[in-house]
């Protein structure tokens, strides 16, 4: 790849990640808050911190979406932060909600290709000297 690989990367990679983050930031907060709060309770978040945690996580996800759609997507740190976040979310779910390993829609397993894509994007953008 050339020195500035941002132009050679397919735009659908960053845009699809952006749509994923936008959905994961808005859907729990606006369409499924009760279920989201129940999940936060299940992972051990105390009741008074559940709404602030839900709002903070949603805003983080929405912020990542905007980064994926912006020119800042050419910075490797954008992808590294997303990778760390997905890994952290996955670890929390894996250890605090182990039933998700047996979930028929495989939410934990689906995070593996997401993390692989984020790692690819992290390695591929051209801001590392």
Residues contacting residue 98 through CB under 8 Å, at least 6 positions apart: none
**What is the average pLDDT score of the chain?**
92
Mean pLDDT of 89-111: 94
| pLDDT greater than 80 at residue 127 | no
Residues 6+ apart with CB under 8 A from 2: 8, 126
Alpha-carbon distances of 114 from 2, 31, 46, 93, 121, rounded to whole Å: 24, 23, 29, 15, 11
Is the pLDDT at 110 greater than 70, yes or no?
yes
For 93-101, what is the mean pLDDT?
94
**SS3 at position 106:** coil
- The model's pTM is 0.89
pLDDT > 90? residue 126: no
pLDDT at 2: 44
What mean pLDDT comes out for the span 88-96?
Answer: 96
Q: What is the pLDDT of residue 7?
A: 54
Q: pLDDT of 33-63, one tens digit each?
A: 999 999 999 999 999 999 999 999 999 999 9
Q: Give the count of beta carbons closer than 10 Å to the beta carbon of residue 93.
A: 20
């Amino acid at each position: 790849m050339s020195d500035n690989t941002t132009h050679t990367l397919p735009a659908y990679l960053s845009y699809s990640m952006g749509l994923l983050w936008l959905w994961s930031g808005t859907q729990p907060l606006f369409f499924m808050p009760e279920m989201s709060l129940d999940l936060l309770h299940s992972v051990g978040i105390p009741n008074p911190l559940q709404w602030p945690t839900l709002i903070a996580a949603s805003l983080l996800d929405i912020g990542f979406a905007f980064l994926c759609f912006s020119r800042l997507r050419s910075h490797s740190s954008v992808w590294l932060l997303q990778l760390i976040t997905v890994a952290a979310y996955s670890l929390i779910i894996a250890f605090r909600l182990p039933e998700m390993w047996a979930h028929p829609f495989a939410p934990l397993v689906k995070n593996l290709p997401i993390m692989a894509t984020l790692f690819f994007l992290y390695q591929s953008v051209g801001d590392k000297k």
